[in-house]
Amino acid sequence: MLDAFSAPYMQRALVEIALLAVLAGVLGAWIVLRRLAFFTHSVGTATFPGLVVAGPWGIAPQLAALIAALGFAGARERLARGREGEEDAATGILLVGALALGALLASDVYRSGAGVDRLLFGTLIGLSGRDLALTALAAALALAADAALRRAWLARAFDPDGARALGVAVAWPERILLAAVAGAVIVALAAVGALLVSVVLVVPAATVRLLARDVRTLQLGTGALAAVEGVAALWLADGLNVSPGPAMAVLGGAVFALVALLTRGRS
Amino acid sequence: MLSDPITRRALFEVLILALALGPLGVWVLLHRQAYAAESMSHGLLPGLVLAALAGVPLVLGAAGGALLAAGAIALAARDERIRADLGVAVAVSALFGLGALLALAPEAPPRLEELLFGDLLGISGADLLAAAGLALAVCAALAAAHRPLALTAFDRGAAHALGARALHWETVLLVLLGVGTVAAAPGLGSLLLVALVIAPAAAALRVTRRLAPALALAAAIAAGAGFGGLALSYYADLAAGASVAMCAVAAPILTRLAT
Amino acid sequence: MSAPLVRTEELSGGYRPGTDALTGVTFAAEAGEVVAILGPNGGGKSTLFRALLGELPQRRGTVELAGRPAYVPQTERARLDFPVSALDVALMGAYGRTPWYRRLARADRAAARAALARVGLEAEAGERFGALSGGQRQRVLIARALVQDAPVLLLDEPLSGVDAPSAARIEALFEELRGEGRALLVATHDVRQARSWQRVLCLHGRQIAYGDPAAVLTPDVLQATYGAELVVLGDGSTAIAVEHHEH
């Protein structure tokens, strides 16, 4: 089994997964506690058109993804303005619009049909040094943000009304959290794809949430679980000749279901 | 364009779907179930893949996938320890990943792109008939259930007092959503079909809040999107399903800009 | 006589421009006073607290406060499924005075433990917040306010739905806090309770009355405040209980 991990591409993939596990651990807890799972998934999906044009236009995929995500955020802001209860529908419409746009760009403009799988579900063999460097940067920034702002994030998550009354700053820690999550999504795209960023950033945290009694444990447990699931997914992906995203999705889902079943008695 | 038999077939399919999905979408939005619509369509992917691998009509796979997805989502939403939308997110991403895994792993993989983005022009006869049948069934059911659906949508305060009745009709709506999803999956694909459900309806509801006009307008906008999308696809040589989806999405964006 | 810890004059405001949720509130709370805020739901009690906390978007009139007030919300508003212990929650009271680049001081941890002991929950410090009873959770939120060490405390229905032992503890704590020279503003539905405190402020969108409970809490005032025929009820935990004194 260890032979599988000796190839250079696998070693890069391992490093990437380890770094993503750090991101999953640090930010996944907050994603789950602050109910940002849909936001995480949305950002991932929204980047798809950007990813499609990145190669042909010669821009770094992460940059194209960032621009696409910002465009999406702006459009979302304008589309759902005012009307309450329309946010879900507005986001859903823009997401399917992003997918359709990406599909159009891929099918006609760039005839890159075969590459679409890689963009949607990630790649095992296509990770570059730059991808790793950016992921490492994102992980370092996430750790720093967590160290500085975890109290603000906790107060806001626990009691939104009372947080400001406590004298805790709320607005800019919130913005930094959303930016950190978006950044994590953007660097996770390479490995797991635009449609499955949740399997790294959300699912392990949701699983450990069923067990953890405090935030620190939640974070550490999530990081560990994400690392284990990630490595197993890499091995599975290599063996089945698929991308890591789907492999991790199935593993993560199975582990979550198992833990949910086993802990059902607890309150 | 209309002289081309392939396009005629696709137009027939998409117009029938529009007739069902337009009004269905209005009910979905009025009951605040946009997220359920998206989850259902993504979650049924494994069914589509298995049908493609087995060589059976995609509609059957979609039906099986939808049942599995509905079951998984219902289970996940029931657990009180995690909030419903987190459980649904986990279930949908697992199912979706499973679908992708099944599609990417085999030696002779099915055309995953067609399952994701639809194969409107290449749809089989069986799928076309099934889609038409199911769509018409949805239309009929929506017409029959019009009054109770209106009651539960608009009178949410009283709906709570109605208790079991309200839940019953919400479930009926979700079932119809499932049927509509299954009808549209082979043609528009797991990722794009939701465009025809929520986008025309969103546009219609921006124009009018009166129920009957909204239902009719949603169907009309959906039909327009279908026609426009196929025209775009034919003349500009673009992917058909994606073109239809883009036209559908354009509708609420344009109405938003105009109001 | 020293300045009151809370003073407002013609305080008005709302959440949207043009519509006022509250008008003409003029009152003061001195050190050592418990002021009951009476009024129906939606009548302006929460709005008043928001205004005092500086969170009301459209605010007019004068507000004078001796420092940032501590706010004790109703327990239902806090998340019950959260991975935090009672001690973690109490410790949040120190967050406001600790800049983001500093760790929490050991003194703050000690203060949190002491606050929990003061509300009688020393043994439950390590328990998960959501696993505690309603009354215990309310006491933890009060402990959080104690850690904040604010001269003014705003409490939103701290005794509603709370078991009798917890309620007794909380009321005893109010007396202690009075003795420390703090001012407490307590939103409540319990008229009986309001009579036992130093001042009462009746709100129904606007200020109906303010002053000594014995003088203020007449049937007329209560009628104007609650806007409906008042009913005598046997148990008074969340419903309005008015004692009609038959002379």
Residues of B within 8 A of A77 (CB-CB) are none
Task: Tell me if B120 sits within 8 A of B189, measured CB to CB.
Answer: no
| DSSP code of residue C125 | T
Q: For residues A102-131, b (16+ Cβ closer than 10 Å) or e, as one string?
A: bbbbbbeebebeebbbbbbbbbbebbeeeb
Residue pLDDT tens, chain B, 259 long: 778 888 889 999 999 999 999 999 999 999 888 988 999 999 999 999 999 999 898 999 999 999 999 998 888 877 766 677 788 899 999 999 999 999 998 887 888 989 999 989 888 888 889 999 999 999 999 999 998 888 888 766 565 666 557 778 888 999 999 999 999 999 999 999 999 999 999 999 999 989 999 999 999 999 999 999 999 999 988 899 999 999 999 999 999 888 7
- Shortest distance between the Cα of C206 and any Cα of chain A, in A, equals 23
Task: Give this prediction's pTM.
Answer: 0.90
Fold of the B5-258 domain: ABC transporter involved in vitamin B12 uptake, BtuC (1.10.3470)
* ipTM reported for the complex, 2 dp: 0.93
A152-171 pLDDT tens trace:
999 999 988 788 888 888 88
pLDDT value of position A215: 95
- The beta-carbon neighbor of A252 closest among B38, B83, B94 is B94
Chain A residues in contact with B91 (beta carbon < 8 A)? 253
Phi, psi torsion values for C186, nearest 5 degrees: -120, 110
Q: Does B70 touch chain A (CB under 8 A)?
A: no
| Chain A residues lying within 8 Å of C53, measured CB to CB | 164-165
Q: At what angle do helices A244-262 and A215-240 cross, to 10 degrees?
A: 130
pLDDT at B150: 87
Name residues whose C-beta falls within 8 Å of residue B238's C-beta, 6 or more positions apart in sequence.
A104, A107, A108, B232
Residues of A in contact with B113 (CB under 8 A): 103, 113, 116-117
pLDDT band (50, 70, 90) for residue C236:
very low
Parts of chain A with a pLDDT under 70: 1-2, 81-85, 108-114, 265-267
Residue-averaged pLDDT of chain C: 85
Domain boundaries, chain B: 5-258
Q: Do A212 and C68 touch (CB under 8 A)?
A: no
Beta-carbon contacts of residue B210 (< 8 Å; ≥ 6 apart): none
Would you state the pLDDT for residue C246? 33
Chain A positions touching C96 (Cβ under 8 A) are 166-168
From chain A, the residues in CB contact with C153 under 8 A are: none
Chains contacting chain B through 3 or more C-beta pairs under 8 A: A
Whether C234 has a pLDDT exceeding 70, the answer reads: no
Contact: A157, C93; criterion CB under 8 Å: no
Q: Across the interface, do B249 and A120 touch by the CB < 8 Å criterion?
A: no
What pLDDT score was predicted for residue C237?
37
Q: Is A159 on the interface with B (CB under 8 A)?
A: no
Residue A96: which of B86, B237, B245 has the nearest Cβ?
Answer: B245
Q: What pLDDT, on the 0 to 100 scale, is given for residue A135?
A: 96
Chain B CB within 8 Å of residue A212 CB? no
Cα nearest neighbour of A155 on chain C: C92
Query: Measuring CA to CA, which residue among B226, B229, B183, B223 is closest to residue B19?
Result: B223
What residues of chain A lie within 8 A of the CB of B249, using their CB?
93-94, 96-97, 100
Chains with 3 or more CB pairs under 8 A to chain C = A
Cβ-based contacts of A212 with chain C (< 8 Å): 83
- Give Rg (Cα) of chain C: 18
So what's the pLDDT on residue C244? Answer: 39
Which token pair is A232?
A: 């197993």
Q: Does domain A2-262 have CATH number 1.10.3470.10?
A: yes
Say whether C84 and A148 touch across the interface (CB within 8 A): no
Q: How far is CA C26 from CA C34, C61, C196, C219, in A?
A: 16, 9, 21, 22
Sign (positive/negative) of CA torsion A97, A101, A103, A108?
Answer: positive
Residue C231: the pLDDT is 59
Chain B 237-256, CB below 8 Å of chain A: which residues?
237-239, 241-243, 245-246, 249, 252-253, 256
Mutation target for B interface from A36, A79, A104, A117: give the one with most B CBs within 10 A.
A104
Is residue A98 within 8 Å of residue A45, measured between CB atoms? Answer: yes
With beta carbons under 8 A apart, name residues in chain C contacting A215.
Answer: 83-84
A41, A242, A257 member nearest B101 (Cβ): A242
Domains and CATH numbers, chain C: 1-69+150-247 (3.40.50.300), 78-149 (no CATH)
Inter-chain CB proximity B195 and A196 less than 8 Å: no
d(CA C140, CA B37): 42
Q: What is the pLDDT of residue A108?
A: 65
In this predicted structure, the answer to whether residue C153 has a pLDDT above a threshold of 90 is yes
Q: Do A214 and C93 touch (CB under 8 A)?
A: no
Q: Which residue has the tokens 């691998």?
A: B53
